[in-house]
């Protein structure tokens, strides 16, 4: 099914996108309100919360250019040494810019 983008079609599509995204923002909370929070569920949630980010970042590192890879590596090293996010992020951006300038 196709929607014409002439006239009100665009508006309709944008509203549909908004509703789908809202469902993702609310759905997790809604489902969890039926799940009893016991120790097992807490362990699942805390393991999942780091895993979301790892799962976002891994393909970025593997499929990215050398600038992207060295950026993530620099951020990781500085973060583990200094334990402060801002210097770690700055190191990553500088690394990406340097690699890409060479």
Partner 1 sequence: MSTVEKHLSRLAWSDVWAGFKQLLPISLFVVVFGVAFGLAAAQTGLGDAATLLMSALVFAGASQFAALELWGEQVPLVPLIITVFAINARHLLMGATLYPWLRELPTARRYGVMLVVSDANWAMAMQALNAGKPGLGLVLGGGIALWSAWCLGSWLGLHFGNAIHDPVSLGLDMVMGCFLLAMVLGGHKSLRMLMIWIVAAGSSLLAYWYLPENSHVVVGALAGGILGVVWMENKHER
- Give yes or no for residue 66 binding partner 1 (CB under 8 A): no
Minimum Å gap between C-beta 50 and partner 1 is 6
Where residue 83 falls (left for φ over 0; alpha for ψ -120 to 50; beta otherwise) is left
Cα 45 from Cα 9, distance rounded (Å): 40
Q: How many residues bind partner 1 (CB under 8 A)?
A: 74
Closest to 28 measured CA to CA, from 38, 41, 39, 17:
41
- 């489902």: which residue's tokens? 31
Cα 64 from Cα 72, distance rounded (Å): 10
Among 7, 13, 66, 102, binds partner 1 (CB under 8 A): 13
- Give yes or no for residue 50 binding partner 1 (CB under 8 A): yes
- Give yes or no for residue 102 binding partner 1 (CB under 8 A): no
- Give yes or no for residue 38 binding partner 1 (CB under 8 A): no
Minimum Å gap between C-beta 73 and partner 1 is 9
- Give yes or no for residue 8 binding partner 1 (CB under 8 A): no
Hey, CA dihedral for 16, 18, 20, 26, is it positive or negative? Answer: negative
Minimum Å gap between C-beta 77 and partner 1 is 10
């Amino acid at each position: 099914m196709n929607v014409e983008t002439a006239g009100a079609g665009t508006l309709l599509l944008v509203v549909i996108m908004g509703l789908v995204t809202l469902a993702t923002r609310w759905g997790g909370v809604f489902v969890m309100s039926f799940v009893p929070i016991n120790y097992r569920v807490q362990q699942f949630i805390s393991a999942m919360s780091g895993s979301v980010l790892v799962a976002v970042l891994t393909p970025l590192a593997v499929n990215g250019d050398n600038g992207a890879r060295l950026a993530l590596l620099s951020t990781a090293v500085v973060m583990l040494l200094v334990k402060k996010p801002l210097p770690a992020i700055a190191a990553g951006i500088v690394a990406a810019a340097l690699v890409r300038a060479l």
